[in-house]
Amino acid sequence: MSGLLNTADFSAVVADIYEASLSPAHWDLALTGLVSRFGPPRWDVAMLVWERLAPGGGRFVASAGVNDLARSVYLQHFAGSNEWSVRGHDLAIGCVVHSDRLIDRAEFRQTPFAREFLGMFGMEVGLIGALDKHSNDHLGLCLPGPDAGSTERLEDAVRLLLPHIQRSVRIARRLGEAELAAAHSTAALDRAPSPVMLLTEQFEPVFANAAGRALIEAYRLENSGRLRLGPAALHDDLARLMDPAGKGHCRPFRLAQGLPNERAAMAMRINPDRIAGAHTAQGTARLMVVAAHNPAVTEEHIDRLRDWFGLTHAEARLAAMLADGGTTQDYCHLRGVSANATRFLLKGIFAKTGVNRQAQLVQLIANAPLQWARELPTTDLPAPI
């Protein structure tokens, strides 16, 4: 084992991986542990995805740090068609590469995947691991993140863990079960915790899941059978977005912008033939709107918590959300992880901060002088505790 890796951390992740073979819901805990224990600063995302080339499509086997909105956008527009997926398809099974080896960074920044998806989350590089392949289908592990330091430690960990992940997937008999269309079925959308709505070109709702119907009612979005999502300029942008010949796939916006209960939302052009329930008597859906709740937690605040208490980036994100009045359930929904994965992070936070209850953690963060050095030149600061 590489000298950069801690044996106890490695063993813990391996145990979680094999637990996931018996309980698929355990995958997000395994992936959360992998990135949290071995990732560079600000890395907390992992995706285990079956993808199909020509035509592109996919389904998530598991993920960590990917909320419903991001999953929907990825599956609808980038699965099996982004440059990492296409160029990584021919990698040898068991191979782990940095994205810069697949495509030149400057060239990659000009792609829709970089501009319209990863860029929104401050990411531009990633590690890609090849797990399995059948004709145009492949199973890959993708860990995207910002260019925030060396990925050597994470690469070593993924290279050693990849065979265990592959065996676990096979043990679970999930090998070869593409079922790509199921990722977009009406039933799957209806079970999603985030509000999801499918709209026609006239902004008429042809489908809304339970959370979406509640959102329409709470925000009084419907008027004469159409939804009013924002000012006229926004609707003009969304109308252009629905044009198959138009530029771009996605458009972020905010519902009730400027009000205390504003919601972050994402509109995306869809192919109605790939979504069950898109063709109805009322019309054909051309636009999917997914809404989420984004607590007021900044990367700057996360960085301060990480440095002050020695937390990982994922732990600091959770601590910041709790300090901002959020709950562990909010974190689960926002980051697309299970309660078990969140408890894993919370346990690490408690150990590093010396508290044993959430209320104590919130009070500790509120009283910590995190802003003490805000006005000082960086060169004057001592090393973080």
- Residue-range domains of the chain with CATH: 7-180 (3.30.450.80), 187-292 (3.30.450.20), 299-371 (1.10.10)
> What pLDDT is recorded for position 249?
78
Please give the torsion angle defined by the CA atoms of residues 159, 164, 166 and 172, in that order, rounded to the nearest 10 degrees: -160
Token pair 């999801």 is found at 196
Mean pLDDT, residues 141-150 taken together: 92
> What pLDDT is recorded for position 362?
87
Mean pLDDT, residues 193-204 taken together: 86
What is the average pLDDT score of the chain?
Answer: 83
List all residues 6 or more positions away from 357 whose beta carbon is below 8 Å from its beta carbon. Answer: none
User: H or E stretch including 266?
Assistant: strand 263-269
User: What does residue 41 show for φ and ψ, rounded to 5 degrees?
Assistant: -55, 140
- Read off the pLDDT of residues 210-259 as tens digits, 9 standing for 90 and up: 888 888 998 889 888 899 998 888 999 999 988 887 777 788 888 877 66
**Cα dist. 139→60, 155, 284 in Å?**
10, 18, 32
Q: What is the DSSP letter of 165?
A: H
- Read off the pLDDT of residues 150-187 as tens digits, 9 standing for 90 and up: 999 999 999 999 999 988 887 765 433 434 343 445 56
Supply the Cα-derived Rg of the chain in whole angstroms. Answer: 21
Please give the torsion angle defined by the CA atoms of residues 267, 197, 49 and 137, in that order, rounded to the nearest 10 degrees: -90
